Structure 1
């Protein structure tokens, strides 16, 4: 069985990312996840015979904060992998890692296939599902 598609980004931390306690603001975690999701989807868009370029909307975010992230950590690695591919949705699994590999946060997001014309959920195509599952 093939491993699910995955992307890993190293992202530098900025002063503006920190809160008054000196650690990464909770809202910034969501920006990091968004950046990693976008990188994964761009990577997947180039696979397949028809250049899979489908539109998705964010339906759910679940995130557990496990360890503080401080500016002096310098960077974090953000991983995102395809967890589950449903009929109309995709569940992605995320981790935010400190430079030493400590998991600072972990969770998942659900993306729903979006039909721009009908303004509603759409069924994922067979090719799209194959690309998302790595088969």
Structure 2
């Protein structure tokens, strides 16, 4: 059985921090991007490449600060919805002790780089993503 969650540990960098000493809001987007790309690569579907998708929407709710002293964060990725051309992923950014630092969602769309337009998800992508759906 396939796990409905994918988890990626990310080492915090000094450049992720703002002048208040906690992770800048832009760093959270990078955390989500890194975890999404790793999740897609982990699917094991030949046509499920990270560059085969474009980001259409991001929503983030910040709950607790992340400081450099935390060392790492874990980003949890869940497939919430698989459509014909797009999918919705749920995300949690966790401090090392499991405290939720941020929650959010992203919508990504299958991308045809040659035609420069949205494309339908392939049957292989659809099956692999649906196997991870919560």
TM-score by length of 1: 0.89
Distance 1:40 1:123 in 2: 19
| Structure 1 residues not aligned, in runs of 5+ | none
For each residue in 1:94-123, what CA deviation from the matched residue of structure 2 results, as whole angstroms up to 9, or x when unmatched?
110001111000101000011122211111
Query: Which residue in 1 is equivalent to 2:75?
Result: 78
Name the count of aligned residue pairs.
Answer: 130
For each residue in 1:17-66, what CA deviation from the matched residue of structure 2 results, as whole angstroms up to 9, or x when unmatched?
1111111111000011000000001011x24xxx2335111100111000
2:108 is the alignment partner of 1:111: yes
Structure showing greater radius of gyration is 1
| Structure 2 residues not aligned, in runs of 5+ | none
Decide which moves more: 102-111 or 78-87: 78-87
Q: Which secondary structure state, in structure 2, belongs to the residue aligned with residue 134 of structure 1? A: helix
TM-score by length of 2: 0.89
Query: Which residue in 2 is equivalent to 1:39?
Result: 38
